[in-house]
Amino acid sequence: MLPTSNYKELLLWLLRLRQRFCVTGNSMFPLLEAGEEVLVDTNAYHHCLPEIGDLVIAWHPQKDNLRIIKRVVIVDEQGNCFLMGENSLESSDSRSFGLVSLQQIIGKVTSKFP
């Protein structure tokens, strides 16, 4: 379950230490629905690797200028991640495009924006 933004997260957003992203597809349903917004820590992986279970925003490896929201399910020794959506009917995840490099990950989702 993803928590709703608390006062600390909202303050970090006001200080521009979090970014807002709007969910546009159904790949994370039922956790997130199209139209919901999340806050993202874009500095989360500057000094550490993503962890299994993290929800991340990443650049799609095959489609320019498309950002995706997925869950990290595998992290290899080089920091490459296998990403999957929550919706098993959605096929636009690492099963179709392979591993995503750490450089393609924009940040870690911290909460739902109210």
Domains present along the chain, CATH in parentheses: 7-112 (2.10.109.10)
Measure the CA–CA gap between 100 and 91, rounded to whole angstroms: 15
Q: Which residue has the tokens 């991340």?
A: 56
**Alpha-helical regions (H) of 1-114:** 7-14, 94-97
Q: Which two tokens stand for residue 113?
A: 């924006």
The string of pLDDT tens digits covering residues 16-36 is: 999 999 999 888 999 999 999
What pLDDT digit, counting tens, does each position of 40-97 carry? 999 999 999 999 999 999 999 888 899 999 999 999 999 999 999 988 776 677 788 8
Tens-place pLDDT, residues 79-94: 999 999 988 776 677 7
